[in-house]
Amino acid sequence: MVRAAVLSAVGAPLDITEIDLPAPGPGQVRVKLAAAGVCHSDLSLSNGTLRQPVPAVLGHEGAGTVVSVGEGVTGHAPGDRVVLNWAPSCGECHFCATLAEPWLCVNAQAATTVPYARTPAGDPLYPGLSTAAFAEETVVPAHALLPLPEGVPLTDAALLGCAVLTGYGAVHHSARVRAGESVAVFGVGGVGLATLQAARLAGAGTVVAVDISPEKEELARSAGATEYVVASETTAKEIRKLTGGLGADVAVECVGRAETIRTAWNSTRRGGRTTVVGIGRKDDTMTLSALEIFHFARTLTGCVYGDSDPARDLPVLARHVREGGLDLGALVTDRIGLADIPAAFDAMRAGRGGRALVVF
């Protein structure tokens, strides 16, 4: 039995309870979590913005130590330090094998549909985003584990698994920010902060952070923002003013709302690029006129996991952490226990704080 945060039904509060976690089956690995970050996608699963089978143990941004491995598992052994990958790619589908774009793998969420544990009453439990990281221990498919390179503290390494792979990838793979370019980042949560750090690392010039909360300015500036704008009806105009009247070369939306996507697009220059990282509601829509698409010649693109190949990119991120270009600790504003996750959700709804990190 291990303690875990269980979502029993969409809209229900999380239960912090014991679960019955079996030994790893064939191809599976059991991991003892060191830490797990609380990401907005967990909140989105709990309120139904994102869907997966329930009851489920949430949490998908985790790092820990291998406890035991199931039959046929090679490449992982007890004691190994690992980061969880919430989109384990199959290596065989069109996106994996032909396009080499594993972040688009059609089977990445296959594990979420198979129960992996049970409640004390014997009911099946599904693993949140394949990883179920809000628990003292978890059991995951072996290919949902990334070896953690040396020189990165295990606890902070949890953040690499979602916020940092995503934010870094949005900047480097999706938007392809070049040195000197201006970048506007919408949303200063864990993902936005990682995006700001990545923009700084890319040598961006003016970096504008935008958030509805005026309280995030210091956090944003410490992650690399050179300007801070409190979101309003004039946000796009303010960003144009801060970028020589032109608009930003690049905007990265880390909120997940049609309105902020629209503002992000408006705040880029003619020919500018907008990358959408945030995940929003299906019925939250925006319009673009047929003329403005031609006139502004801008690009609008979505990305999953920052277009990252976690296996390829984690060693790169670890090197940046060792060299000081990425500061994982600076993303974390609260170190909490499992029982505090509901309060971390409340803070997120209210737009307070950076990343809350559950430390086991």
Site residues (vs ligand APR, CB under 6 A): 39-41, 44, 166, 186-192, 210-213, 216, 231, 254-257, 259-260, 277-279, 348, 351
What's the half-sphere exposure (Cβ side, CA atoms, 13 Å) at 187?
A: 31
Residue nearer to ligand APR on the CB measure, 192 or 224? 192
- List the x/- string, 20-59, binding to Zn ion by CB under 5 A: -------------------x-x------------------
Residue nearer to ligand APR on the CB measure, 14 or 117? 14
Q: Which of ligand APR, Zn ion, none has residue 210 at its interface (CB below 5 to 8 Å by kind)?
A: ligand APR
β-bridge partners, 169: none
Residue nearest to ligand APR (CB): 189
Residue nearer to ligand APR on the CB measure, 2 or 212? 212
Distance of closest approach, residue 187 Cβ to Zn ion, in angstroms: 13
Residue nearer to Zn ion on the CB measure, 224 or 278? 278
- List the x/- string, 84-113, binding to Zn ion by CB under 5 A: -----xx--x--x--------x-x------
Q: Which of Zn ion, ligand APR, none has residue 96 at its interface (CB below 5 to 8 Å by kind)?
A: Zn ion
- What phi and psi, each to the nearest 5 degrees, are found at residue 24? -65, 135
- On whether the CB atoms of residues 184 and 210 are closer than 8 A, the answer is yes
Q: Which H or E element spans position 147?
A: strand 145-147
Q: How far apart are CA 209 and CA 196, in angstroms?
A: 8
AA identity, residue 38: V
- On whether the CB atoms of residues 37 and 166 are closer than 8 A, the answer is no
Nearest to 140 by CA among 157, 118, 116, 159: 116
Piece in contact with Zn ion (CB under 5 A), picked from 120-128, 141-149, 157-165, 211-219: 157-165
Q: Is the Cα torsion angle 21, 23, 24, 26 positive or negative in sign?
A: negative
